[in-house]
Structure 1
Amino acid sequence: MQTAVVGASGYAGTELVRLIADHPYLSLVLMTGESTAGKSVADHVPSLAGRFPTELYGSTEDVFASHAEVVFLALPHGASQVLVPRLLDQGRVVIDLGADFRLKSATEYEAWYGHVHATPELLQTAVYGLVERHRSELRDAQLVAAPGCYPTATTLALAPFLDRGVIEASGIVVNALSGVSGAGRTPSDRLHFPRLHGNAEAYGLVNHRHTIEMQQELGAELLFTPHLVPVSRGMLVTAYARMKMDITAGVALEILRQSYADDPFIVVTANPPSLKDAVGSNLCFVSATVDPRTGWLIAMSSLDNLGKGAASQAVQAANVALGFDESAGLSLIGIAP
């Protein structure tokens, strides 16, 4: 199927281009970049030069005149709302990597994102693109809202225990470490090398926008604190929840194994996952243990923030929506060392 990537010059968009270039069923016909329109793809992203030596980025408006049947949107939050209705009216399948259609409540969206949603009627239409939780809903979906990186890692770690009533649905604490590519390509003081190198810092305390997305997906209340660490990509989540049932660490791991037995991209490990385990793949590593002394369960996960946390997850969701093999074009092998 002919495919376009709008916002192809950013980090997530570049990763989409890389994945779609070798996808067996998707054919890339347009790459756009609002600030790079007319510029060489190979010059902007040299790693793509071998496959796209002469191609140029188009402008966002070019997508409406293109032959693309599937459109991936990798744009800043808020930018998709004016594009999606027009794309749907043209009969295209839309996979949005931004936050514009993840929340079901327009009121919650305004509260957490600071502006009124332009197309609230589509919030109930969009299907949340976490395949492991919404596989059946995604089939034949026209509008897919790809989840955020933190909500993906957090949901996959905690959901099996909330689903079974093993842990309390309130008072959950989530700490997360993310590579700096999750902050996007635009330079900032916080991402300046002398400040970032050898450093780590918490940000978005109490009001990080991904909090409401996690709470919606998990049906739970949580306190979320993300941390920026000086690596380019990768994510590690450690979550803490009070247990309602007296279970062992072995039982906790068995719950994860049973929950994800049919999910090819979830790896359950007895050892705590590391931040780099999943880098370069669509994998998410999950693990859990319990502390009988305090009555807390510890759930852990790691993924590639540009992979399962963004681009490859969007491709996985598109595969399901379009009726392809779920694993088409995606890697089950990370990069090591």
Structure 2
Amino acid sequence: MKKILFSTIFAIGFLCTLLLHNPNIAKAEELYIFSGEDLKTAPNINLKNRETIPTGFRTLFDKENWYYFCLDQLKTYPNSTTPPYVPARNAENQGVKWLIKNFHGDKELISNENNLTQYALTQLAIWCLTNPAVTSYRDPIVSNNGNLKALIDEARKHREDVDVEAELMQTTLELSNTKFVQYHANELFKSKISATITHTKALPTNKKIEMEDIKVYSIENGSKKDITNNAHVHLTESDFNINLAIDELFYLNFVPSYSVVVEWFGNVSATDNFVQGYKTVTERKFQLVATAHIITLSHAIKDDTTLKVDNFINISGKKNWDDGNRPDDITVNLFANGVKTD
């Protein structure tokens, strides 16, 4: 069975493409990060009261000159002998994530500044959001630079943003537990299974939901047998259902202890400007850093449901109409011990 796409992923100009099976841990080679200009003394940074910037803030970049930001000002900046950095889970502050994505994206509120000033503004805003002792009203570097204060205020509005990476990891596939329905017209026993995928509303609009082939198994006394070839499976894209039918002759061979298990595997992915953290093996000493890339996040989803094979009774009858005029609709009610059955 061919894969079915329930959303279309749009083309995006990739700045850097990494595939993540865990959205917080990228499949990337080790990388070396270097420190450059001191934000307190570097020329061409258009900020007042730079002398009040804490000592040590420097530009951070890799060999491709891609910028990174420090997440802990008190730790040592990387140097020529620093161990390589590897992907790590950090930068979980949503306001900080917004700042990093903003720098590598639209550069909201800082687009009129030169690149080095944009970097300094972003790094200092991250410092303010991660250092509880810093306030926009007490520190001259903040209070005397309206663009920095505006950037901090905007980032604080994003502190409660949905964590898209976490939402993706919580995405689940849920199949309903539906019983078989006997259907004689084409000698098939049919069942309709509803499927629901959770936690997708917060994902980017270019999310892609890709469902793999369905597997059908019979279970008897703990023994599992693949009967997919005896099943007819049709996926309906419009209402996200599985229409399952099993050949009557195969179905009639079941004994009451049999059940049928339907398994469905899929994958949910989304492409966006995501934040990725990095650390060294000696993370207690060296900076935790983070950057943003256009990244495709991917998460596998799976669920199964058991369809009980119910005992059934075939009832047949014959009715003649004296006048020969058979009505268009006929209703037959079945009663068991005086109680109407469905």
Is this a same-fold pair by TM over 0.5? no
Could you say which structure has the higher strand fraction?
2
TM norm structure 1? 0.24
Structure number with greater CO (CA < 8 Å, separation at least 6) is 2
Could you say which structure has the higher helix fraction?
1
